[in-house]
Structure 1
Amino acid sequence: MSSKIVKGLLVTAVMLATGMDIPQADAAVFVQCPGDTNGDAIPDGAYDPNALQCMHLTAGDGFISMADGKLQYMFGFADVTGLTEDQIMTTGTLAANFPAPTIVLKQGQEFYLSLTNVGMAIRPDLFDPHTVHFHGFPNASSVFDGVPDASISINGGSTLTYYYNLVEPGTYMYHCHVEATEHMQMGMLGNLYVLPAQNNLPAGTDLNGFTHQAGYQYVYNDGDGSTRYDVEVPIQIGSFDPVFHDASMNVQPLPFAEMKDRYPMLNGRGYPDTVDPLPLTPPAESGSPAPQPVSSLVSANVGDKVLLRISNLNVTNFYTLATNGLKMHVVGTGARLLRGPDGKDTAYDTNSITLGGGESVDVIIDTAGVSPGTYFLYTTNLNFLSNDGEDFGGMMTEIRIN
């Protein structure tokens, strides 16, 4: 033990023995959002939503249910936007969601994201700080990057507001970067994507022979309408090791070297829960009204172009997702439009994509000429088509064409 630590302990002991007051560290919920006067992360009065967006998340723990009914302890984020600062510590406790709340942004916005660490209700012995890492985003300042080595981590009872100037559209993701292997395995990850400015062009704008109309949506600023879509579904690949999660809940050594995920999921659910369009019923132990709110069901009409924003934040495996009877047109990877240096379109067709942790792809499925019916998006890693020991489940969802 260093002499500085020993000296500090001796000083504390003397102060306690003599009845002296020990200075307390300042910690408080403090939300920053331009125009917000009551701390609910919503600007008061009129503002331009295309130029400004604010959000308030909490970081803590909670419970969700696996598709086979197993109760699973987890860490995660919860959306408390709209609540005032005095409500956060109670409302955010045991309220973790998996995946984390989906964040949808617009190119050109300034985004203020406040993160409050509400602590671990089930593991009060843990003093883990938390961060938000906007994965793939080129931050202007490392202080907002969320990587502890070069930025600020948020201790219990405290808040940090991250600032982002959104200049690049695409499919990103976010996660806690403190003790990343543990916190990501425990569930601190979510969908995040940025919509392109091309969506807001005046109706009738010519895009190199393609005419933009009001309401048209694109994946990127493609300049030719090639990434237009009708239906959008974010899908995040993730998986849990129940032994690791149980060890965390029961205050046991964490088996990092033996980590083996047995609950493969899409958007925090295994099949058949993936196709439930509603938030799953929360377990009694959860403090959230909907800790698993994100469905992976894809519904479209014949003729629709379906955009799948697929990301992988798994910490143990590469995964391959495939479709049966439907062609996937890959238009972007890593939040970048597939174009060569000379502007040549390098998008390609496939029926499967393989992603490692931290990777994303943008896939458009054109249903023109497709027969109505139910198709499947599933992993070809066949051992992951299960919910632990329960067969016919896991990393699979349905694409229903009407």
Structure 2
Amino acid sequence: MKLGKLYAALIGALVVPAAQAGVYPQCPFDINGAGITHETDAASGLVLHSRSVGAGADAHRQVCAHVVGGDGWQMVGDGSRRVYGFGFAPAQGVDEQVMTNGLAAAQFPAPTFTFREGDEVWLALTNVGMIFRPDLFDQHSVHWHGFPQASAIFDGVPQGSATVQMGSTFTYYYKVNDAGTYLWHCHVEATEHMEMGMIGMLNVLPRQDGSSITDASVGRAFTKFAYNDGDGSTGYDKAFSLQLGAVDSNFHDLHEAVQPLPFLELKGDYTQINGRAYPLTTVENKAEVPAPADAPAVSQPVHSVMRASAGERLLLRLTNGSVDAYYTITALGLPMKVVGRGAQLAAGPSALATNTSDWKASGARWAHGTASVTLGGGEGTDVLIDTRGMAPGTYYLYTTNLNYLSNGAGEDRGGLMTTIVLQ
């Protein structure tokens, strides 16, 4: 009898943590307390709550954020129709409000995170379930793609770490040690969930930010940098995050219809930048973006227009969220230089293509440059665009893969294209 009671107690101890479903995000401080900074992304509505701790060399931030994983709808191509998808969104409200507000609220792509090197991050994920597919009980997770110091339990890979059941919340912890451009996505049934939309960008700013360092190659000082370069070579004036990707409309339609999914035939037919295709990439007013029926808000809130003053240096953080395609990107008439790949500083001639005569004619005098960059699935590349000597006007950034410059089979002049506006 005693052995039986001991066994029952042991089993009870094991199952209690798994039974504690609900919205219980963890954070080392009261997010509504004194001295807390709240940063809200204007496009996605994502909120980062932070406080400064430590002193001297140990000074850093503690950052808390909360997102939900569920389903929703997105418009493809020119906005003529919608497709079903999975996605992440900022958590709204507290307790059970998070569950209610998170239903059908998926954003495409997932909200972009921006952290700083040295941050301690607590990222909570609440799985609100699939309101439009009640037959599904999919778990979700957060995988920080390319993060080199992930603890196994916080890595998001189901075989070796925690995943989040419907109605439950799990908080991931990261000590951010490396600057660069990353992706984050759900790693549960990864190909399916990423194709359905559960993928976004994650940027880490270097400790060097805030220092004034002169880039000798252009003879001017910068205070914002892509990496800890030590010489100002990755300095920039304005940064833009661009996630390339595509929707396989047949795959999404079959998913909505509860039909077998053709994984071997995956092929995106509606290519996108930041979840939209041209010309919607250039619509800066969210109120003018078609909202899918059954969605509580615009599900593709991020445009891709890059506005700057002539003479400024621009940082383009490029990622490829596609699960089946390579993309080659160019900025017609603008000199480009690759300064990072895979969240690593690109240094030395071997990392860069040689410059071309037309860049020299345009006034750009960089030692190394490139006319285009190619990204495979899951890759990230950091590109500087120098607009010195360039005339004000509208320039186009687009793919040289002409088959990706369309919206499905019925409309040309779409897909992977957006604008850089110099004023």
What TM bracket, shorter-length normalisation? 0.7 to 0.9
Aligned to 1:9: none
Shift of 1:291: 1.3
> Does residue 111 of structure 2 align to residue 101 of structure 1?
yes
Which letter maps to 2:90? D
Q: Which amino acid aligns with 2:181?
A: T
Cα distance in 1, alignment partners of residues 125 and 278 from structure 2: 31
C-alpha distance after superposition, 1:84-128 (max 9, x if no partner): 123100000000000101101111110110000000000011011
Distance 1:145 1:386, change over 3 A: same
- 1:380 corresponds, among 384, 400, 404, to 400
Deviation at 1:378, TM superposition (A): 0.8
Pair 1:71-2:82 in alignment: yes
TM-score, normalization by structure 1: 0.87
Amino acid at match of 2:144: F
Distance in 1 of aligned mates of 2:350 and 2:415: 35
- Counterpart of 1:165 (choices 175, 178, 189) is 175
Does the 8 Å contact 2:395/2:421 carry over to 1? yes
Matching residue of 2:246 = 239
Deviation of residue 245 (structure 1)? Answer: 0.3
What's the CA shift string for 1:176-227, capped at 9, x where partnerless? 11111100110000011000111133x6x788999997x8211011111111
Aligned-residue offset at 1:45: 1.9
Mapped to 1, the partners of 2:285 and 2:184 lie a distance apart of 23
Q: How does 1:97-176 map to 2 (within 5 A)?
A: 97-176=107-186
Give 3-state SS (helix, strand or coil) of 1:325's partner.
Answer: coil
Give the structure 2 partner of residue 297 of structure 1. 305
- Offset from partner CA, 1:45-99 (integer Å, 9 cap, x none): 2253551111100000001112331111110000116x21231000000000001
Three-state SS of the structure 2 residue aligned to 1:137 is coil
For the 8 Å contact 2:215–2:235, the answer to whether it is kept is no
* Map of 1:4 onto structure 2: none
| Structure 1: runs of 5 or more not aligned | 1-23, 37-41
Partner of 2:11: none
SS at match of 2:388: coil
The structure-2 alpha-carbon separation of the partners of 1:134 and 1:94, relative to structure 1 and needing over 3 Å to count, comes to: same
Q: Tell me which amino acid in the other structure corresponds to 1:158.
A: S
Q: Is the 8 A contact 1:207 1:223 kept in 2?
A: no
* Correspondent of 2:231 among 215, 224, 234: 224
SS of equivalent to 1:264: strand
- Decide whether the 8 Å contact of 2:214 with 2:232 is kept in 1: no
Find the aligned partners of 1:258 and 1:134 in 2 and give their Cα distance.
27
Secondary structure of the residue aligned to 1:200 is coil
In 1, the alpha carbon distance for the partners of 2:149 and 2:294 equals 38
Alignment of 1:3-402 (within 5 A): 25-36=19-30, 42=31, 44-47=33-36, 48-49=51-52, 50-68=60-78, 69-80=80-91, 83-201=93-211, 216-279=223-286, 280-287=289-296, 289-339=297-347, 346-347=351-352, 348-388=368-408, 389-402=410-423
Deviation at 1:322, TM superposition (A): 1.3
List per-residue Cα deviations over 1:224-281 (Å, max 9, x = no partner).
1111111111000110111100111111111111222100000000000001123334
**Residues 211 and 383 (structure 1), Cα distance of their counterparts in 2 relative to 1, 3 Å cut:** closer
CA drift at 1:139:
2.7
**Structure 1 contact 117–155 (Cα < 8 Å) conserved:** yes
Output the CA distance in 1 between the equivalents of 2:315 and 2:19: 48
CA shift in 2, pair 1:212/1:199, >3 Å: farther
Cα 1:92/1:120, change in 2 over 3 Å: same
Q: TM-score, normalised by structure 2?
A: 0.82
Query: Does the CA contact (< 8 Å) of 2:215 and 2:233 recur in 1?
Result: no
Aligned amino acid, residue 357 of structure 1: G
**Post-superposition offset of 1:375:** 1.2
Letter in 2 for 1:387: N
Q: CA deviation at 1:295?
A: 1.0
Q: Whole-Å Cα distance in 2 between the matches of residues 177 and 155 of structure 1?
A: 13
Shift, 1:345, TM fit: 9.3
Residues 247, 140 of structure 1: CA spacing in aligned structure 2 closer, same or farther, 3 A cutoff? closer
Question: Are the counterparts in 1 of residues 67 and 124 from structure 2 also a CA contact under 8 Å?
Answer: yes
Counterpart Cα distance in 1 of 2:112 and 2:95: 22
Q: Please identify, of 271-280 and 44-53, the stretch whose mean Cα deviation from structure 2 is larger.
A: 44-53
CA distance in 1: counterparts of 2:64 and 2:103, whole angstroms: 21
Q: Distance in 1 between matches of 2:293 and 2:260?
A: 27
Deviation string 1:354-379 (CA, Å, 9 cap, x unpaired) is 11111110000000001222111111
Q: Distance in 2 between matches of 1:207 and 1:109?
A: 27
Stretches of structure 2 that go unaligned for 5 or more consecutive residues are 1-17, 37-50, 53-59, 353-367
Change (3 A) 1:256 1:32: same
Report % sequence identity: 49
Q: Is the 8 A contact 1:208 1:223 kept in 2?
A: no
The structural deviation recorded for 1:324 is: 1.1
Q: In structure 2, what is the Cα distance between the partners aligned to 1:372 and 1:238?
A: 29
* Residues 299, 125 of structure 1: alpha-carbon distance in 2 compared, 3 angstrom cutoff: same
Deviates more, 1:113-122 or 1:247-256: 247-256
The answer to whether the 8 A contact 1:31-1:85 is kept is: no
CA contact (8 A) 2:337 2:385 kept: yes
Residue 284 (structure 1) shift: 2.5
